[in-house]
Amino acid sequence: MVSMQDSPPLAAPAAAPRRRRWLTVLVWLLVAPFAVWAATRVFGLESGFPTVQLIAFTPYVAVISLVPLAIALLTKRIWPAVAATVVVVAFAACILPRWISDSDAGVREGPTLRVMSVNMLIGQADPGRIVSLVRSGAVDLLTLQEYTEEARTALRTAGLDQLLPNAVSYPRPGVTGSAVYSRFPLTDRGYRRFISDFGQAQAGVRVPGAAELHVESVHSCAPSDGTRDACWVADLAAQPAATPSGPVNLLIGDFNATLDHDAMRGVLAKGYHDAADVAGAGLDTSWPYDERWYIPGVTIDHVLTDKRVGVRKVVIHRIAGTDHKAVFAELVLPKAGG
């Protein structure tokens, strides 16, 4: 008779290392997609459909990346935890600065300029609401995209011409119309037309006491599917560079790009900063907020300014009839001769 002491060992202890190995593999599989996303964002590797579209949602992915880090820590998987920490830090370095205001951004002396931008969704945005925001915000300069002849008539009827009597307007059917309205005198600098057929109204603005100012109502091609990625890249690349020793440049409108897109960062590299980023409002989303509730909001409408321009605040407003929110910014311009 075999005693209990002579019995063969149970199989359970041998299975335990296998379970630990499988758990380690599973944790690595959780970390890996976030690591790939972070590398794509940091090194600007997005290209083509659907990565260009997906990279716009990086702020959401950055928050979710905390989950694999927590799992790695709770399961005591050291190397996956180290990798997950690197991923979280990379995301934080990309995202958090937009949430932190540059304390001295608006502490500059010079004339104040209040600007607002609205994509009118083929002219359908509520003209009364736009005029109300212009009046309540004491807006000096308004840029409009997807500006149609019908929109021009509706805005005039709503009283926009009384508040902002000067205009450089290029109404067009569909999505390519563009306009700049101003309280101050304007010079028509033409309509910048891209190979995509999108275009931008260009204006010189004479603000009393301020340096010479050039403004464009920005609207680049939207990367809505795989056939439009090339025109999106081309339109952003064609945005004009700032002129640090010349006129102050403002690019205001619907860029169809977020600060997580390498093509958008290429525009900033031409001598601009993003007003919302400077003001700590860079995570406030501007599109969409209509019936497409299933798409998380992203920040594709921007006020880009010459780095000589101070930023006091940036606020977004809802407007019925369009899927974009209006973007308002209070800027401080350099003095004439400064």
Tell me the pLDDT band of 292, cut-offs 50, 70 and 90. Answer: confident
- In the chain, which residues fall in CATH 3.60.10.10? 104-332
What's the predicted TM-score (pTM) here?
Answer: 0.92
The arithmetic mean of pLDDT across residues 289-293, rounded, is: 76
Q: What is the pLDDT at residue 1? A: 47
Three-state secondary structure call for residue 122: coil
Closest CA to 332 of 114, 103, 183: 114
Q: How far apart are CA 212 and CA 247, in angstroms?
A: 5
104-332 CATH: 3.60.10.10
Task: Dump pLDDT digits (tens) for 89-116.
Answer: 999 999 999 999 986 777 678 999 999 9
Radius of gyration of the chain (CA): 25
H or E stretch covering 206: none
DSSP 266-328: HHHTTTEEEHHHHHT-TT---B--SS-TTSPPB--EEEEEETT-EEEEEEEE--TTSSS-EEE
Closest CA to 307 of 280, 329, 278: 278
Q: Which ranges constitute the DSSP H helices of the chain?
A: 12-42, 51-55, 58-64, 66-74, 78-95, 127-136, 149-158, 160-163, 229-237, 262-268, 275-279
Closest CA to 167 of 133, 202, 192: 202
Task: Dump pLDDT digits (tens) for 130-161.
Answer: 999 999 999 999 999 999 999 999 999 999 99
For residue 311, give both structure tokens: 């930023």
Closest CA to 115 of 283, 325, 308, 314: 314
Three-state secondary structure call for residue 193: strand
Distances (CA, A) of 175 to 157, 278, 279, 298: 22, 29, 30, 20
Task: Dump pLDDT digits (tens) for 13-26.
Answer: 657 677 788 999 99
Q: Taking each helix axis as running N to C, give the angle between helix 12-42 and helix 66-74, from 0 to 180 degrees, rounded to the nearest 10.
A: 150
Q: What is the pLDDT at residue 146? A: 98
Number of residues that this document lists for the chain: 338
Task: Name the more confident of 226 and 311.
Answer: 311
Task: Dump pLDDT digits (tens) for 163-213.
Answer: 999 999 999 999 999 999 999 999 999 999 999 999 999 999 999 999 999
Q: Taking each helix axis as running N to C, give the angle between helix 12-42 and helix 78-95, from 0 to 180 degrees, rounded to the nearest 10.
A: 20
Q: What angle do CA 241, 242, 243 make, to 5 degrees?
A: 115
Task: Name the more confident of 118 and 8.
Answer: 118
